[in-house]
Structure 1
Amino acid sequence: MTALIGLSLLLAIFLLGLPIFVAFFAFNIGAAIYLMGAGGLTLFPGSILNTMTTSELIMVPLFILLGELLFRSGTIEILFDSVDTLIGKLPGREYVVVVAVSVLLGALSGSAIAVAALLGRTLLPAALDRGADTRLMSGMALGGACLAPIIPPSILIVIIGMLSGSSISQLMAAGVVPGVIAGMMFFVYIQVAVWRRSDRARTTVDTGADGAEKLRAVARLLPFSIVVFLVLGLILLGIATPTEAAATGVFGAVIVAAIFGKLSLRLFRDSIEGAVILSAMLLVIMATSTIFTQLLAFSGFARDAVDFVNGLDVSDLALFALLMLLPFVLCMFLDQIALLLILVPIYLPIIQAHGFDPVVFWTALLLNLSIGAITPPFGYALFALRAALGPKASLGDIYMSVLPVVAIMVALIFLIYAFPPIVTWLPSFL
């Protein structure tokens, strides 16, 4: 009971809007003193030192720097124009483009809320002015963003891998096939939705691009394939570890910026500054999460949680559903990283006790985190998109737009559970 009260207090502190590292530090100090007295504070120096000197953490600032370089260099606009040109004449073309771009942006930022805000300020208003359906356009933007946590390079993959002790390489490879399947499911939904519209002819738009222009679009996309190969390709080929792949990915981002004439000292300065600030916050958060895990073990909460779950007379499927339901609800209110830091130490002994495949389970959990962020009525990415779109869309439109997307993503999670090779096939080659 004491542990439950403590976790409730931690959630309440997060809801106050304090920075994650401040909330965790404050809670850890209070919990250590309550459980062990003032002597409990001696846990802090050793835990912080051990975490900060973990070699795997080197990849965190590198992946952040990779994203900063691509975002700040303006190469994302080139990426969008190239994708738009290649898709060409297709029913619902603009919706397909939005999904593709939101997936790419989500992979770089790792955040559904960041993608919602960015697309709501740039791409979506122009598409809506051309007559695109508000609900379908908004839903597809948020749907593509949902895939951010499982598409490399994803900071959330690194964090969950370190917290759970799972292979980061396998987790990165695990998200590729589910991401492709999700994209196919979105495409089918778009075609059905466009077919049902009475004005569907207006959504069949041709870019007017001829063969030469499409070849140029392919050529403009080739530099981005450098980054993909240097990050995911080297890992899958067994040539590089995730840390080494993160470093080569940064090198690839510099090459891409140079190819498009965007490379400058100011780009380096701004990208490094942004990466340092965010990396410092994440490293402090990771250090505090280590202390939190130790406090959970000392309090006996992790053992009690396993005993409670073992006492439930439910099937593995029902248990999986229950474990997915909690983050689905909590992520409407809490930051994804904050929720990971709370749930992974609690879930880890449970999935070990019940024999869940860790790669499958953590991949499903990563997907779940983004679904909660776009689920009405409190999903915070919904409010970010509504604020960015302004009068072009009501909150009711945003709510209705995302319901089919949530259904698709929930179906994908249980598809992953029913057919684990969807997740485990690609990592099996590592």
Structure 2
Amino acid sequence: MEWVTVLLIFVGSLLGLMMTGLNVFIAFLIVNLASTVILIGPRGFGLFANSLSESLMTESYATIPLFILMGEILFRSGSVDVLFDSVDRLVGQIRGRLYAVVILIATIFGALSGSVIAVTAMLGRSALPNMEQRGYSPRLSATVVLAGASLAPIIPPSLLAIIVGSLADVSIAGLLVAGIVPGIIISLMTAGYVAFSVIRHPELAPPNVDAVSENRGSAWMAGLKMVPFMLIIFMVMGLIMLGIATPGESAATGVFGAIGVAAIYRKVSLSMLRDALTSATRLSVMIMIIVASSTLFSQLVAFTGASRSLVSWATELGLAPIAMFALMMLLPLVLCMFIDQVAFLLMAVPLYEPLVSALGFDPIWFWAIFLINLTVGGVTPPFGYTLFTLAGSAPNITTKNVFSASLPVVAIFVIAMVLFTFAPQLVVWLPNLL
């Protein structure tokens, strides 16, 4: 059987099963088991057991449940309410103040949780109703929430970066650090778009500067309340950047930091810790099973010779590396409109990894832009799941308005990807410095 046919059967079967609504894990499991029986026979089931064992015993994957637990503790304890009030106070009296508050909050929350769904749902429940009540544009408010929440997979700690680094055999610490500068740039681009929109259309913001609640204390007190959160960010990323701790060790210190912050604000309880542990365990087990299935998928693709043939075919095309890069980025940009980001990531990394090496791309640069590309799919109509998360969590916004609000977000992220493609130092400068 030709390698193209084999690859089309593998990928087509996965996409077909996922588009029927099956869970990502079940889709991978069906394709893997069927392919193992057809290609290897009953003896191949030992290969699946080895893949599962390899995934569970890989030290870098221990980072995933720890980062998930850290985010769960912070959100379930209600500590983030203190952070929201503090940022609100520090931004001060400017027109369209809540737009700036939400951008900053989403950026910080992304650095604390790494989960786009968690940040989107939290801001949809809390920020959007507040902004609508104060006379802010619902559409521009939704744009700000979507753009800010979409930074979570880019700004460390990013669960997707950890999975990519492990599957593609790339430095996880380097890939985490590589998201800092792009995340800040995209955040500034979003702020610039909002400022331009408000200047051009003043009706998008309340006619009067909405006052900051006086019962929240002084700006100095607001800054003081933010110190514990800044310490968590330092414990997670600062220790990695200083070379003191590995990503797994820093994730563990981040969990202790999250418990400490909840205790400082008197929001820690046994029931909260139990719920956080239960939720984090459930999500971590699902992710680990999917990763194990992806590992077996890559081994089966390699067993058929499709990976080697794909590299040979790509090199024989004679296209310039930048043209191949564009083709490799176009595929996730389109497919992630229809399927889950994690599903595509786990399917694409085994196929892309040998091409990245063969084409001589800097792996940190390539996979960092790849992660940004995946994020775009989550906010692109018609099936971006970030859009449905916002529509489901915000009480008074329609799906149509969410779709409309997502278009500027897609434009901002695509422009940023082009910028990082032709200015790679923006991505690799900080990892190389460290």
Q: TM-score range by the shorter chain?
A: over 0.9
Q: Is 1:270 the counterpart of 2:266 in the alignment?
A: no
* 1-structure distance, mates of 2:217, 2:72: 32
Residue 302 of structure 1 corresponds to 307
Gap runs ≥5 in structure 2: none
Residue 32 of structure 2 corresponds to 28
Residue 213 of structure 1 corresponds to 218
CA contact (8 A) 1:88 1:208 kept: no
* 2-structure distance, mates of 1:385, 1:267: 25
Q: Is 1:409 the counterpart of 2:421 in the alignment?
A: no
What is the Cα deviation at residue 388 of structure 1?
2.8
Q: 1:293 to 1:218 in 2, by over 3 A?
A: same
Summarize deviations over 1:61-81 as a string: whole Å, max 9, x none.
111111111111101111111
- CA-based RMSD: 1.9
The match for 2:316 among 311, 318, 322 is 311
Amino acid at match of 2:99: Y
Q: 1:118 to 1:43 in 2, by over 3 A?
A: same
* 1-structure distance, mates of 2:59, 2:398: 47
Moved more, 284-293 or 377-386: 377-386
The number of equivalent residue pairs is 429
CA contact (8 A) 2:339 2:383 kept: no
Structure 2 counterparts to residues 286-297 of structure 1, below 5 A = 286-297=291-302
Q: Is 1:154 the counterpart of 2:158 in the alignment?
A: yes
Q: Is 1:387 the counterpart of 2:392 in the alignment?
A: yes
Residue 287 of structure 2 corresponds to 282
CA contact (8 A) 2:73 2:259 kept: yes
CA contact (8 A) 2:114 2:153 kept: yes
What is the Cα deviation at residue 20 of structure 1?
2.1
Structure 2 counterparts to residues 185-334 of structure 1, below 5 A = 185-199=189-203, 200=205, 202=207, 204-207=209-212, 213-334=218-339
The match for 2:88 among 84, 87, 92 is 84
Amino acid at match of 2:44: G
Amino acid at match of 2:67: F
* 1-structure distance, mates of 2:281, 2:206: 49
Summarize deviations over 1:331-356 as a string: whole Å, max 9, x none.
12222221111000000011111111
* 2-structure distance, mates of 1:222, 1:107: 15
Amino acid at match of 2:116: A
SS at match of 1:399: helix
The match for 2:346 among 318, 341, 345 is 341
Q: 1:423 to 1:209 in 2, by over 3 A?
A: farther
CA contact (8 A) 1:85 1:209 kept: no
Q: Is 1:16 the counterpart of 2:20 in the alignment?
A: yes
* 2-structure distance, mates of 1:267, 1:395: 32
* 2-structure distance, mates of 1:42, 1:111: 34
What is the Cα deviation at residue 212 of structure 1?
6.0
Residue 367 of structure 2 corresponds to 362
* 2-structure distance, mates of 1:198, 1:63: 41
Amino acid at match of 1:218: G
SS at match of 2:207: helix
Q: 1:425 to 1:403 in 2, by over 3 A?
A: same
SS at match of 1:95: helix
SS at match of 2:37: helix
CA contact (8 A) 2:134 2:210 kept: no
* 1-structure distance, mates of 2:149, 2:276: 22
Gap runs ≥5 in structure 1: none
What is the Cα deviation at residue 46 of structure 1?
1.9
Residue 373 of structure 1 corresponds to 378
* 1-structure distance, mates of 2:346, 2:213: 49
What is the Cα deviation at residue 227 of structure 1?
0.5
SS at match of 2:245: coil
Amino acid at match of 2:338: F
CA contact (8 A) 2:340 2:385 kept: no
Q: 1:108 to 1:419 in 2, by over 3 A?
A: same
SS at match of 1:106: helix
Amino acid at match of 2:185: I
CA contact (8 A) 2:174 2:364 kept: yes
Residue 96 of structure 1 corresponds to 100
Residue 167 of structure 2 corresponds to 163
Residue 120 of structure 2 corresponds to 116
TM-score w.r.t. length of structure 2 = 0.94
What is the Cα deviation at residue 272 of structure 1?
1.4
CA contact (8 A) 2:65 2:281 kept: yes
Summarize deviations over 1:218-245 as a string: whole Å, max 9, x none.
0110000110111100000111111110
* 1-structure distance, mates of 2:19, 2:114: 22
CA contact (8 A) 1:52 1:283 kept: yes
Amino acid at match of 2:78: G
Amino acid at match of 2:144: M
Residue 7 of structure 1 corresponds to 11
Amino acid at match of 1:331: C
What is the Cα deviation at residue 209 of structure 1?
5.7
* 1-structure distance, mates of 2:364, 2:36: 32
In percent, how many aligned pairs have the same letter? 45
